Amino acid sequence: MAEQFDVAVIGAGAAGMMCAAVAGQRGKRVVLIDHAEKLAEKIRISGGGRCNFTNLQATPANFLSQNPHFCKSALSRYTPQDFLSLLKRHHIPYHEKHKGQLFCDRSAEDIITMLKAECDLGNVSWRMPCKVHGIARAEQGFTIDTGAGLVHADSVVIATGGLSIPKIGATDFAYRIATQFGLKMVETRPALVPLTFDPASWQPFVELAGIALEVDVSTGVKKQRMDFREDLLFTHRGLSGPAILQISSFWQPGTALSLNFLPQTDLGTTLIEGKSSLRKNLGNVLAQLLPARLSAGWLASNGFDSEAKLADMPDKQLRRLGDSLNAWTVTPSGSEGYRKAEVTVGGVDTRELSQQSMMATRVPGLHFIGEAVDVTGWLGGYNFQWAWASGFAAGSAV
Ligand code: FDA
C-alpha cells in the first residue's frame, strides 16, 4: 500500500523546502523527499558560507531564459522584501555587501534552520536520505517509487535543481522526469563558472595567477552585447572572479571576451600626456595604475622595457600598449564545467509550464521549480530569489 499525501516535493534544497513549507502551512499533507545525507548542502556552501540569499535590486532583467517573461509573475508575487520578513520573524541578522546583495551575518546555516522550522510549522513529512526510483501516473495523481516504499500524491513538485557540483548530489533527475512526461527541454550548460584557455596560449599569463582587480568585461555584439564592471581574478588555468562568472553565463564558445583593466582611464592618452615629464619611466607609471605584478608581467609579455622613458617612446607604441590594457581581446577555450559552476543555464522549457503555478500545462499535477527550470539568475543572490519565488508559486498552487 502506498502512503498517501496531497503533495510530494522531490528535492529538499532552497526551492523544495520553500514550496513544502508554504503548501504544508496551507494545510496540505506534504512529503519532502531527498537522496542526500546532509540537508541543503548548496545553501550551506553558498556565498562563501554566508549565503547571498537575495538581492534588493532583483528584477526580471537579472535572469536568463529562452522565455524571458516567464519569471515575472512568480518574482512579483514573492519579492526580496517577503523573504526579509521571513528572516525577521526568525531573528536572523544580515547585511548588504555590494550592489544589493544580502548575506547572513553569521552563517548560511541560519537559512537552512529557518526553512526547516517553516517546514515543521507546516507538518511536512521527511524522507531523507531516500532514493527516488521512478514516478508514474496513477488513476488520480502520481505514484512515486522510493527507497522507503511507494508514495502516492495528488501533486508532485520536482525541485531537484541543476547539474552544478555533482560531488554534493546534483543530478539530472528533473530533466529525466520532464523528458519521461514528454516535456521539452532547453539545452543545458554550466554558468557562473571560471573560464579556461588552452595551456599553450595561457602560458604567458600563468605567473599572474592570484592577481585581482576591477575590470569592465563584455561579450557579444549589438543587441546581444552584455557587459559587467566587477572584480577579475587571474588563475593558473584562466580567468575567474565575479566579472568572469557573470559574463560566463552569456559567453558563447568560440567567441571573444573584451576586458578593460583600467575602466576609469584612457591609458594611451595618459601615457602620451606623461611624455611631457622627461623622467617618467614606463614601469613606474603603469605600476601606479595597476597591481605591480600585473604591470610588470604585462610589459614583459608584450615586449616592452619597463625602464624605458615615456619621453623616448613613439605615441603609436604607447597607444598600442594603452589599447592592449583598455581593450584586451581573448577567446577562452572552455570553462571549468559543472564541477565548478554555480548554476546551470537551460533546463525544463518554461513554455511547458504555467507561470502562476509552475505546473506543466500538459501534465496536470506535475510542477517544476527552482534551478531545474530554464530560468537562471545573475551572480548576486538572484538564483536564490528565483528558488524562493518559484517555490512559493508552486506551494501556493498545489
Ligand atoms: P538545490 O540544488 O538547492 O536543491 C536540489 C536538491 O535536490 C538537493 O537537496 C539535492 O540533494 C536533491 N536532489 C538532486 N537530485 C536528486 C535525486 N535524483 N533524488 C532526490 N533528490 C535529489 N545562489 C545565490 O543566489 N546566492 C549565492 O550566494 C549562491 N552561491 C552559490 C555557491 C555555490 C558554490 C553554488 C554551487 C551555487 C550557488 N548559488 C548561489 C546557486 C544556488 O545555490 C542555486 O541556484 C539554488 O540552490 C537552486 O535551488 P534549488 O532548490 O533549485 O536546487
Mean pLDDT by 10 residues, the chain (398 residues): 96 98 98 97 97 98 97 98 98 96 98 98 98 97 97 98 95 98 98 97 94 97 91 98 98 96 96 86 93 93 92 95 96 97 98 98 98 98 98 98
Q: Are residues 69 and 148 in the same domain?
A: yes
> What is the CA(206)–ligand 1 centre distance, in A?
32
CATH number at residue 363: 3.50.50.60
Q: Are residues 175 and 293 in the same domain?
A: no
Q: Are residues 173 and 100 in the same domain?
A: yes
Q: Are residues 186 and 203 in the same domain?
A: no
Which protein residues touch ligand 1 with a CB less than 6 Å away?
A: 10-16, 34-36, 40, 42, 45-47, 51-52, 132, 159-161, 164-165, 169, 171, 173, 342-343, 370-372, 381-384, 387
Q: Are residues 375 and 331 in the same domain?
A: no
Query: What HEC string does 81-112 produce?
Result: HHHHHHHHHCCCCEEECCCCEEEECCCCHHHH
* 102 neighbors 94 (Cβ within 8 angstroms): yes
CA-nearest residue, atom 8 of ligand 1: 13
Query: Which of residues 293, 320, 335 is at a domain's end?
Result: 335
Look at strands 63-64 and 376-377 and give their pairing: antiparallel
How high is the pLDDT of residue 276? 87
CA-nearest residue, atom 29 of ligand 1: 46
Q: How many residues does the structure list for the chain?
A: 398
CATH number at residue 283: 2.40.30.10
- Could you tell me the residue range of the domain that residue 292 belongs to? 195-335
How high is the pLDDT of residue 131? 98
Residue 100: exposure state from Cβ atoms within 10 A (0-12, 13-18, ≥19): middle
Grid coordinates given for 272:
602620451
Point out which residues pair with 231 in neighbouring strands. Answer: 214
Q: Are residues 30 and 169 in the same domain?
A: yes
How high is the pLDDT of residue 70? 98
User: How many C-beta atoms surround the C-beta of residue 348 within 10 A?
Assistant: 25
The domain total for the chain is 2
Query: Which of residues 335, 354, 370 is at a domain's end?
Result: 335
> What is the CA(22)–ligand 1 centre distance, in A?
19
* Best probe residue, ligand 1, of 42, 376, 383 (max atoms within 8 Å of C-beta): 42
How high is the pLDDT of residue 222? 83
Evaluate whether ipTM surpasses 0.85.
Answer: yes
* 137 neighbors 130 (Cβ within 8 angstroms): no
Which residues, at least 6 apart from 174, have a Cβ–Cβ distance to it below 8 Å?
Answer: 11, 158, 159, 160, 161, 347, 348, 368, 372, 373
